[in-house]
Structure 1
Amino acid sequence: MLVPGAGMVKVARRNGWSHLFLFMIVVAHAMEMVASDILSEEGLALLAMKSSLADPQNHLENWKLNGTATPCLWSGIACNNVSSVVGLYLGNMNLTGTLSVDLGRLKNLVNLSLELNNLTGPLPGEIATLVKLQYVNISNNDFEGVFPSNFSQLQSLQVLDCFNNNFVGPLPGDLWIIATLEHLSLGGNYFEGSIPSQYGSFAALKYLGLNGNSLTGPIPPELGKLQGLQELYMGYYNNYSSGIPSTFGNLTSLVRLDMGRCGLTGTIPPELGKLGNLDTLFLQLNNLVGVIPVQIGNIVNLQSLDLSYNNLSGIIPPALIYLQKLELLSLMSNNFEGGIPDFIGDMPNLQVLYLWANKLTGPIPEQLGRNMNLTLLDLSSNALNGTIPNDLCAGQKLEWVILKDNQLSGPIPENLGNCISLSKLRLSNNALNGSIPLGLLGLPNISMVEIQMNQVMGPIPSEIIDSPQLSYLDFSNNNLSSKLPESIGNLPSLQSFLIANNHFEGPIPPQICDMQSLNKLDLSGNEFTGTIPVEMSNCKKLGSLDFSRNGLTGEIPFQVEYIPDLFFLNLSRNQLSGRIPPQLQMLQTLTVFDFSYNNLSGPIPHFDTYNVSAFEGNPLLCGGLLQPCPANESGAAPDPGSHHRKGKGTNLLAWLVGALFSAALVVLLVGMCCFFRKYRWHICNYFRRESTTRPWKLTAFSRLDLTASQVLDCLDEENIIGRGGAGTVYKGVMSNGQIVAVKRLAGEGKGAAHDHGFSAEIQTLGKIRHRNIVRLLGCCSNHETNLLIYEYMPNGSLGELLHSKERSEKLDWETRYNIAVQAAHGLCYLHHDCSPLIVHRDVKSNNILLDSTFQAHVADFGLAKLFQDTGKSESMSSIAGSYGYIAPEYAYTLKVNEKSDIYSFGVVLMELLTGKRPIETEFGDGVDIVQWVRRKIQTKDGVLDVLDPRMGGVGVPLQEVMLVLRVALLCSSDLPVDRPTMRDVVQMLSDVKPKSKGGSLADSRELSAPDSFKPQDLRLVCV
């Protein structure tokens, strides 16, 4: 380094200060060049690494030459006392790109933290040369390929966390050689094959995570040798061919054992009772049989026990009384018999008790809830009797009480009216009596109240009705009476209000439509009198209105026309008079209506389609398909609020309309000419500018070893593998052998690249990573055309395979069921795991693609919409989707949310079950597959008529098919609020297999439904 001294002073004196200033600039430049020359090898390696990364949030902005010899002051860098890099902490920085091999130059690196980024490509094997590494965390990225085979060289490694990446191939087999390894997480990848038996030889392992892969084969009993193991995660997407090894009883240090949903068979080994330190045991969603071993009662530290969704039987063993630390007990959806032991009500820490869908009998323990901690309780679908305990909410923590479908009697406990924590109360289909607890409809967190199909009596308490969260209320089929309180309008969030088949009387309060969120209103089967309130027009969100079987009088108010989303209207069996308002024909949404058995008269409006039965019992009605109207009456509808026009008046009106149209056309043509004359130079210049072809830009969302020119070479007629409204799809074979699918978006042309949000949304969709969603690899665009590059699916679409005669034999029942589950998982990810959530808007069988092993992948996001998680619908400018799959409310109102996708998925399930397209001529005019299936299942043998005989015939389990059909009917409910969430759909479809019992289609020569099957079990979900 140059140091100013006496010589510099002499120069200044001889030549002046200006020369000195120039000299100082030269010196400074020289010093900078020297500094760059002395940057350490590690600093240069980090700069080389940075060049392969994209850093949109500038976390690595200070990674640059700054005159220092080491990078120790750079972001995310830690050094030791001799300025060597020992820590690289780049976690959660939103980095993209690949990990450079230059990482191998950091020879002193001890800790490597890259978690929660979007890094892609293979993991460089050079990492294994960093022999000082002790900690490696690359979780939650998109690393792919086969895991490097040389990691066993890292003999100092203590933590290796690779969770949630895209690694494929077998598990790395020689990691057990690392004697220091304590934490190994390989879950959430695509590893396949069996677990190496050598994994039982880890010397120091405390944590082993293999969950969420595609592992098969038996579970090696050698894992029982890992006596220091504290946490073991093996479930979810894995599908083992064995049960739980009895050697697991030797894992005496184990604190958590999670083997949920991985195909386990056999019984629960009693040896697990030796795991005295265990606090969590999850074995749910498997195929386990037998009883709960009494030895489970020896695990006295157990806090969470989940054995749900298996085929376990017997009684709840008394030995569980020793599990006094238990907080969660879930035994739901098994075959347990006997009563609920009293000691369960005495467990001091119990918060969650799930016992639904078993064969339990007897009373609910009276002391349940007195422990002050009970939060979630579901005992539904058993044969329980007796009364509901009074102290369920003693601790004011109770959120769910679900006791439906039992044989309970007695009153609803009054204390529930004071349970401020309560959000769901579901008591339907019991024999409860007494009255509705005071305050129940005013609880601050209550969102759902179901007490239908009981014997509850008395009025709806009017004293406190002001719950801000209540969205679903069903009091149907009880003995409730008195007038409907005016305060019922104080429920701003209520969407469904169902009080059918009670004894309510008096007028319908006009305040009922103060409930601005009301979507379904059912007052049928009561004793209401008076007129229909004209205030019904305030119910702007109402979709279903049922006032049938009452004593209503007067005329039908024409203001019903102003309910824009109304599609179901039932006013039958009242004493209504006058005409059916012709304005109702203006309601394009109205598809189902019934005016039968009233005193209505005059001509019926011109409805597009209707059934004559909707008007029977009104002898004075005429027109349409009924008897002709008298000469002085016309079936034509007048303009709203006006009289019929006849003769010269009608001709005059037609002449005026024609004249106005002609004048408007002349004005339009003159205006266009004037506009062109004024702006012709700008218009011509625009098209000259647009005619210039722009260069192609390739944007990759994962590792792509191809160029834009290779993608363009695919756009040949002979490579076309599909056409649709969203564009044309080509098969492309790249120079490296990689096969991709290239979609050329429809509507491309001048200026197509400027599509107001395409780039932003495509960036988001490009980050989607899920095994059941077709992966968007990249996009290629210029000024005129957009091309999307997807992974290639060799078995094409489900629609092609399902409706092609020569290929449909590949779709046996097992394949169809797996496709349904896998597609549901993909949509569930979009709805529940993406932020913002993504509504697909074009779910159909042609957009479910199948890979080489017939694994399903949801595809085609050309119409996808990103939603902020507000829980509200959004309005579209036009209908998007495919005919036959579009939800009713979307087609009529242009309002869309995730429930629209669920309806479309219900149609896909019906396609899978019936083998028919959504629209077939055999269904009849205006009838789609949903309506056709609903009609067919009204009879016992009709249920079997809808099933596709190509599913395999012999060996097809009828019970499983019926359960999937029930899910399809639920998904395709007319009202969005009645449809389940995709998370619920996944759960229900997953339940089909664990609960699979009973006959096949071949059990009867005539393929008749078993005597135990009741068509009304399916019809209930269609109401």
Structure 2
Amino acid sequence: MAYRNTFLRPSSLLLILFYCLHLTPIVFSLSSDGEALLAMKEYFSDEYRFLEDWSRSDPTPCKWTGIACDSKSNVIALELAALNLTGTISSHIGRLTSLINISLEMNNLTGSLPQELGSLGELRFLNVSHNNFSNLFPANLSGLQVLEVLDAYNNNFSGGLPADLGKLTNLRHLHLGGSYFAGSIPPEFGGMKRLQYLALSGNSLTGRIPPELGNLTHLQYLYLGYYNVYVGEIPPELGGLRSLIRLDLSYCGLSGSIPPSLGNLTKLDSLFLQINSLTGTIPSEIGNLSNLKSLDLSNNGLTGVLPAEFVSLTKLELASFFRNQLHGEIPSFVGDLPNLQVLFLWANNFTGNIPQKLGQNGNLLRVDLSSNSFSGTIPPYLCAGENLQILVLLENQLTGSIPEQLGHCNSLVHVRLGHNQLTGSIPRGFLGLKNVEMLELVGNQLTGEIPEIFQAPSLEFLDLSENHLFGVLPEGLGNVTSLKNLFVSGNHITGNIPRSIGKLGQLFSLDLSDNALSGSIPVEISKCQSLSSLDLSRNQLTGKIPPELERLQVLDFLNVSRNHLSGSIPFQLQLLLSLTTVDFSYNNLSGPVPVHGQFEYFNSSSFLGNPGLCGEELTPCSVGVVSARGPSSYHQKIKNEPNLLAWLVGALFSAALLILIIGICCFLKKYQQFMWGFFRKESNIKPWKLTTFQRLDFSANNVLDCLNEDNIIGRGGSGIVYKGVMPSGETVAVKRLSSQGRKGIAHDHGFSAEIQTLGKIRHRNIVKLLGCCSNHETNLLVYEYMPNGSLGELLHGKKGALLDWTTRYKISVQAANGLCYLHHDCSPLIVHRDVKSNNILLDSDFEAHVADFGLAKLFQVSGKSQSMSSIAGSYGYIAPEYAYTLKVNEKSDIYSFGVVLLELVTGRRPIEPEYGDGVDIVQWVRKKIQTKDGVLDVLDSRMGSSNLPLHEVMLLLRVALLCSNDLPVDRPTMRDVVQMLSDVRPKDNDCQQGENLVSKDLVNV
């Protein structure tokens, strides 16, 4: 009873209540897993606040964003994919010992992967793909014995592949592609017995492909190519991978022959071996792959014929063998393949007829058989299913007529049948297909009239030149308002030039030369405001040259020679400052030759054969003739007696203004550091934000310390570049972009574009962006420092002799690889828009890095043009069609890259006075290489001459000229450029060509 009385005393009840209240926080405190997650969160930057619900007030983290728990409230899944997180993964992740699934893909996480991942013994799925992780890959993951998926694709890891991963016997999926792993593939990888998916593509791997990979008998997908450079052959042991569905060994330097053992891979649906140095014949055993849908052996050195055993490949959809040395006929069964969609055989030595049943299956999409020696007729059923989009048969020996069925094939987009021996007339409807963009029939023996065009809403390129066409130009040409290039030269066309041509507002080039056209030059041509090239020569035109042609403000080339034109050369044409070439010769023109504007630089050959013309280099003009130099010149009237007093006042005012400007500049220079100190003080009001793209050991203040005049290493149109040394000793380059415009309006100057672009792309030949700073007043970009500066500065400076031929060739390949990545491997695609030698930076090993993405443009669809509001880029590098139409796509970059290649070969700048007014390096080189001596004259003497491999230099020059072709459609893609540059330096020595052969080849370009 005493015990009970004591228990019931009020003081005891208060004591019990106190203990209950004291214990309450302990009962409801956050679990240890939650504490670990909050510790991890401290290392994240969560811009969009996806992790805002991660709160210490919750007893468990099980309801937090991206978190899943088991029945005991242990965290088993960390699913934070695509949340735009930045920062690093801290070691605290090792405290989540129950984790089964880690999904961090598609963020912007940087730094190293923590070694603590190796302690998560329950982990089955680890996905860190599409981030910016760097440094060495963790070497202690061999303890994750239940791990099934390891995906680290598209990061910046370096060093060797960890051999210990071969101990993960439960691993089914391993993707380590798209980083900078070096060294060879560990043979230990052959120990992952359950592996079904292995991708190591897109790294810097070397050595031989280990035959031990043939032990992975459960493997279904194997990707080892793209930028890896292996030595030796394809291991025959890979023929033991009988579960394999897809084998991709493309673009990785393999040599030797294709092992017949690959014919054992009967489950294979895709075999990609393109862009290697494979030789020998195609093994007949490939015909055993009855499930094969895609076969690409292009860009190799394969010889022989297509094996007859391919008749068994009835599921084949893609067959690509272009750029080899294959010969013989296409077996007739190719036309019977029921599922064939793509057939690429161009640039081989095939002969005989094209199978006449080709396309009868109704599935054919793309056919390119160009640059062979095919004879016979074009198959009639190519568009049987109305799916055919690409038909390229140019440069063969085809005869007969164009099949009438093609005149109804509305799926066609690109048609190139040029340089054959085709006869007959153009099928009715062929020129009016609703989707066709390019139609090229040049260099055949076609006859008949040009069909009337009623509709062709997409047609941009039409070339009917060098045939035997007659009749008149159809009035319906004016309805093709999308037309940009029209070539009908070298035919027998009569009648007048239709006035409807004036409706072609996008027309860029018009060539009607070498026909029998009569009548006058229609004034309506002056309405074609985009016209750059106009050739009406070798006709029977009469009347006067319309003075209204002065409206063609982008006209570059004008040829009206060998006609019957009369009257004078309109003095209004002096206003066309874009003119670089004119030819008025052999007409009945009279009067004085204009002498102002570009006419000051044209020589007498442009005016020969006109007895009535007079001028400085022609017959002197008589006293009664009014000179085009005189007061009557259009817009050239000046006063004969200037006001001397007004001139003196103006001169004094200008001098005073100049002195004032110089004084201000000196003041700003002297007090620059003081002003920057004041500016940094003001930044306390508007704090700096440092955004990092990988783990950095410095702060925004360290970056600001670089901004003084002594550190300036470059100035450009978008800002100033400083060199800086961080506290850790790391050297960086800081680019300051001015952002104050008129009236205080902030201008971006490409900052957003550069950040958005470089923040997403990673490639060894693209400059690495470390971070960026902004305080809404000034934008700063922090790059890795390139000790050797830009290619342009080095090439055109006193140190140009440091760039021998081998170094220049290496730079060309590396820069091409960087641009190829932008054009083909990014999503969305990226067009740089300012490719030039000053935007190719060189590291300490003279390795090239494409830089400066302030003008970059993202494209959702390859090959589609976009209109810009103004011309962007650098003079001398801008593609002709870009300058005149403001439309840009990948081909604009390729033209600019061609100019860079010409700089590498010649050592000259894109624009130099020596070329002549209005002439750039492209036009200068094309003119010089017409002779063998001229070809040698363009080469940079600093490359040396005694041991210079002339055949290699000439091949590089040929690639440069192909890239800088005036017509975008004739320029190669960057994939083709990379391949052609790789072919410049073959591995064997029996590929050398004589200088005369190379010179002739250059002239043909």
Same fold (TM over 0.5): yes
Which residue of 2 is the match for residue 583 of structure 1? 572
Aligned partners of 2:82, 2:265: CA distance in 1, in Å? 37
Moved more, 610-619 or 210-219: 610-619
Aligned partners of 1:249, 1:178: CA distance in 2, in Å? 23
Which residue of 2 is the match for residue 274 of structure 1? 264
Which residue of 2 is the match for residue 503 of structure 1? 492
Aligned to 1:511, the other structure's residue is in SS state helix
Aligned partners of 1:640, 1:1014: CA distance in 2, in Å? 49
- The letter of the residue matching 1:778 is G
CA drift at 1:915: 2.6
Aligned to 1:410, the other structure's residue is in SS state coil
CA drift at 1:549: 0.8
The structure 2 residue matched to 1:127, chosen from 114, 117, 139, is 117
1:89 equivalenced with 2:89 (yes/no): no
Aligned partners of 2:175, 2:94: CA distance in 1, in Å? 22
Which residue of 2 is the match for residue 22 of structure 1? none
1:632 equivalenced with 2:618 (yes/no): no
Which residue of 2 is the match for residue 337 of structure 1? 327
Which residue of 1 is the match for residue 927 of structure 2? 935
Aligned to 2:514, the other structure's residue is in SS state coil
Moved more, 521-530 or 725-734: 725-734
Aligned partners of 2:741, 2:369: CA distance in 1, in Å? 60
Which residue of 2 is the match for residue 873 of structure 1? 867
Q: Is the 8 A contact 1:578 1:602 kept in 2?
A: yes
Which residue of 1 is the match for residue 763 of structure 2? 770
1:743 equivalenced with 2:735 (yes/no): yes
When residues 264 and 657 of structure 1 are mapped into structure 2, their CA distance, relative to the original with a 3 A threshold, is farther
Aligned to 1:740, the other structure's residue is in SS state strand
Which residue of 2 is the match for residue 399 of structure 1? 389
CA drift at 1:838: 5.2
Q: Is the 8 A contact 1:230 1:253 kept in 2?
A: yes
Aligned partners of 1:704, 1:1020: CA distance in 2, in Å? 53
Which residue of 1 is the match for residue 10 of structure 2? none
Aligned partners of 1:582, 1:356: CA distance in 2, in Å? 50
When residues 325 and 182 of structure 1 are mapped into structure 2, their CA distance, relative to the original with a 3 A threshold, is same
Which residue of 1 is the match for residue 786 of structure 2? 793
When residues 221 and 327 of structure 1 are mapped into structure 2, their CA distance, relative to the original with a 3 A threshold, is same
Question: Between Structure 1 and Structure 2, how many residues are aligned?
Answer: 955
1:552 equivalenced with 2:541 (yes/no): yes
The structure 2 residue matched to 1:353, chosen from 343, 362, 367, is 343
Moved more, 978-987 or 445-454: 978-987
Q: Is the 8 A contact 1:582 1:638 kept in 2?
A: no
The structure 1 residue matched to 2:431, chosen from 410, 426, 441, is 441
- 1:757-809 Cα shifts (integer Å, max 9, x gaps): 65533432441423221122223456775443111223332234434565635
- The letter of the residue matching 1:560 is L
- 1:99-138 Cα shifts (integer Å, max 9, x gaps): 2322222221111111122221211222222111101111
Which residue of 1 is the match for residue 905 of structure 2? 913
Q: What TM-score, normalized by structure 1, do the two folds share?
A: 0.87
When the two chains are superposed, the root-mean-square deviation of aligned CA atoms in Å is 3.5
CA drift at 1:234: 0.5
CA drift at 1:819: 1.7
Moved more, 627-636 or 356-365: 627-636
When residues 749 and 394 of structure 1 are mapped into structure 2, their CA distance, relative to the original with a 3 A threshold, is closer
Which residue of 2 is the match for residue 98 of structure 1? 88
Which residue of 1 is the match for residue 290 of structure 2? 300
Aligned to 1:545, the other structure's residue is in SS state strand
- 1:696-753 Cα shifts (integer Å, max 9, x gaps): 6252331221123333444466655445555544433322232212234579899999
Aligned partners of 2:82, 2:52: CA distance in 1, in Å? 16
The structure 1 residue matched to 2:399, chosen from 398, 401, 409, is 409
- 1:61-89 Cα shifts (integer Å, max 9, x gaps): 43335x54222222222222333222222
CA drift at 1:864: 5.1
Moved more, 200-209 or 186-195: 200-209
Structure 1: segments with no counterpart, 5+ residues: 1-26, 670-685
The structure 2 residue matched to 1:239, chosen from 229, 248, 265, is 229
Aligned partners of 1:224, 1:640: CA distance in 2, in Å? 86
When residues 956 and 655 of structure 1 are mapped into structure 2, their CA distance, relative to the original with a 3 A threshold, is closer
- 1:362-388 Cα shifts (integer Å, max 9, x gaps): 110111111221111111100111111
When residues 635 and 885 of structure 1 are mapped into structure 2, their CA distance, relative to the original with a 3 A threshold, is farther
Aligned partners of 1:116, 1:638: CA distance in 2, in Å? 70
Structure 2: segments with no counterpart, 5+ residues: 1-17, 658-674
Q: Is the 8 A contact 1:308 1:333 kept in 2?
A: yes
The structure 2 residue matched to 1:562, chosen from 551, 556, 562, is 551
1:136 equivalenced with 2:120 (yes/no): no
Aligned partners of 2:605, 2:597: CA distance in 1, in Å? 14
When residues 822 and 174 of structure 1 are mapped into structure 2, their CA distance, relative to the original with a 3 A threshold, is same
The structure 2 residue matched to 1:485, chosen from 474, 492, 503, is 474
1:146 equivalenced with 2:136 (yes/no): yes
When residues 466 and 383 of structure 1 are mapped into structure 2, their CA distance, relative to the original with a 3 A threshold, is same
CA drift at 1:687: 15
- 1:129-175 Cα shifts (integer Å, max 9, x gaps): 21111011111111111101111111110000111110000001101
When residues 245 and 866 of structure 1 are mapped into structure 2, their CA distance, relative to the original with a 3 A threshold, is closer
Aligned partners of 1:805, 1:341: CA distance in 2, in Å? 59
Aligned partners of 1:941, 1:644: CA distance in 2, in Å? 43
- Identical amino acids, percent of aligned pairs: 58
Which residue of 2 is the match for residue 622 of structure 1? 614
Which residue of 2 is the match for residue 14 of structure 1? none
Which residue of 1 is the match for residue 11 of structure 2? none
The structure 1 residue matched to 2:213, chosen from 210, 223, 245, is 223
- The letter of the residue matching 1:440 is F
Aligned to 1:761, the other structure's residue is in SS state helix
CA drift at 1:940: 3.1
When residues 538 and 640 of structure 1 are mapped into structure 2, their CA distance, relative to the original with a 3 A threshold, is farther
- The letter of the residue matching 2:894 is I
1:1018 equivalenced with 2:1002 (yes/no): yes
CA drift at 1:977: 5.8
- The letter of the residue matching 1:931 is Q
- 1:255-297 Cα shifts (integer Å, max 9, x gaps): 1110000000111111111111111111100001111111111
Q: What TM-score, normalized by structure 2, do the two folds share?
A: 0.88
Moved more, 437-446 or 716-725: 716-725
Q: Is the 8 A contact 2:577 2:597 kept in 1?
A: no
Q: Is the 8 A contact 2:741 2:747 kept in 1?
A: no
Which residue of 2 is the match for residue 1009 of structure 1? 995
Q: Is the 8 A contact 1:543 1:975 kept in 2?
A: no
Which residue of 1 is the match for residue 662 of structure 2? none
Which residue of 1 is the match for residue 50 of structure 2? 59
When residues 106 and 214 of structure 1 are mapped into structure 2, their CA distance, relative to the original with a 3 A threshold, is same
- The letter of the residue matching 2:91 is V
The structure 2 residue matched to 1:166, chosen from 152, 156, 169, is 156
Moved more, 305-314 or 777-786: 777-786
Aligned partners of 1:548, 1:723: CA distance in 2, in Å? 47
Q: Is the 8 A contact 2:531 2:552 kept in 1?
A: yes
When residues 748 and 182 of structure 1 are mapped into structure 2, their CA distance, relative to the original with a 3 A threshold, is same
Aligned partners of 2:755, 2:95: CA distance in 1, in Å? 33
Aligned to 1:184, the other structure's residue is in SS state strand
Which residue of 2 is the match for residue 44 of structure 1? 35
Aligned to 2:518, the other structure's residue is in SS state strand
- 1:535-560 Cα shifts (integer Å, max 9, x gaps): 11221111111111111111111111
When residues 412 and 977 of structure 1 are mapped into structure 2, their CA distance, relative to the original with a 3 A threshold, is closer
Which residue of 2 is the match for residue 672 of structure 1? none
When residues 759 and 41 of structure 1 are mapped into structure 2, their CA distance, relative to the original with a 3 A threshold, is farther
Which residue of 2 is the match for residue 195 of structure 1? 185
Structure 1 segment 414-425 matched on structure 2, within 5 A: 414-425=404-415
Q: Is the 8 A contact 1:553 1:576 kept in 2?
A: yes
Q: Is the 8 A contact 2:170 2:194 kept in 1?
A: yes
When residues 819 and 523 of structure 1 are mapped into structure 2, their CA distance, relative to the original with a 3 A threshold, is same
Which residue of 1 is the match for residue 280 of structure 2? 290
When residues 272 and 891 of structure 1 are mapped into structure 2, their CA distance, relative to the original with a 3 A threshold, is closer
1:79 equivalenced with 2:63 (yes/no): no
Q: Is the 8 A contact 1:959 1:999 kept in 2?
A: no
- The letter of the residue matching 2:869 is S
